[in-house]
C-alpha cells in the first residue's frame, strides 16, 4: 500500500492490503488530521479505529520485495505511522487536502 509514492504497508494478503487502502482512502476523504493518529504496539489507529495492524507474516513480505525488512511488527507499524503522519503534515504545509 503506497501513500504519496511512499511505502505505507506491505502484506502478503491482497485482501488485507485492499482493506487498509480502502480504510486510509475513506479517512482521507473525511479530512483525517495529524492529531487523529496514534500507534499502539503493532497497530496504527485513526480516530480510535485500527486501520493498520501489522502481523508477523507481513514482515516476510518486506524481505521478499527486496526492501530492508523491519525487525518486528511494531517497527513496521511505527514506520507506517510516521509515513502517514508525514504525508498529512506535508499536505497541511502545502495548503492541500486529500
Question: In 9-70, where does DSSP find H-type helix?
Answer: 14-29, 56-64
Residue 69 is predicted with a pLDDT of 67
DSSP-assigned letter for residue 4:
T
Cell of 80: 507506517
Please state the rounded mean pLDDT for residues 69-97: 87
DSSP-assigned letter for residue 35:
G
**pTM > 0.95:** no
Rg for the chain, CA atoms, rounded: 13
Instruction: Render pLDDT for 38-78 as a digit per residue (tens, 0 to 9).
Output: 999 999 999 999 999 999 889 888 777 666 667 789 999 99
Instruction: Render pLDDT for 4-39 as a digit per residue (tens, 0 to 9).
Output: 889 999 999 999 999 999 999 999 899 899 999 999
Question: CB burial class (10 A; 0-12, 13-18, 19+) of residue 85?
Answer: middle
Residue 96 is predicted with a pLDDT of 66
Instruction: Indicate the domain borders of the chain.
Output: 2-93
Amino acid at each position: 500500500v503506497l501513500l504519496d509514492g511512499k511505502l505505507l504497508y506491505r502484506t502478503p494478503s491482497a485482501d488485507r492490503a485492499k482493506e487498509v487502502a480502502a480504510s486510509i482512502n475513506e479517512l482521507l476523504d473525511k479530512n483525517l488530521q495529524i492529531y487523529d493518529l496514534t500507534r499502539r504496539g503493532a497497530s496504527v489507529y485513526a480516530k480510535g479505529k485500527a486501520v493498520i495492524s501489522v502481523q508477523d507474516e507481513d514482515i516476510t513480505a518486506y524481505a521478499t520485495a527486496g526492501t530492508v525488512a523491519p525487525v518486528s511488527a511494531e517497527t513496521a507499524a511505527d514506520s507506517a505511522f510516521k509515513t502517514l503522519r508525514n504525508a498529512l503534515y506535508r499536505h497541511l504545509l502545502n495548503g492541500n487536502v486529500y
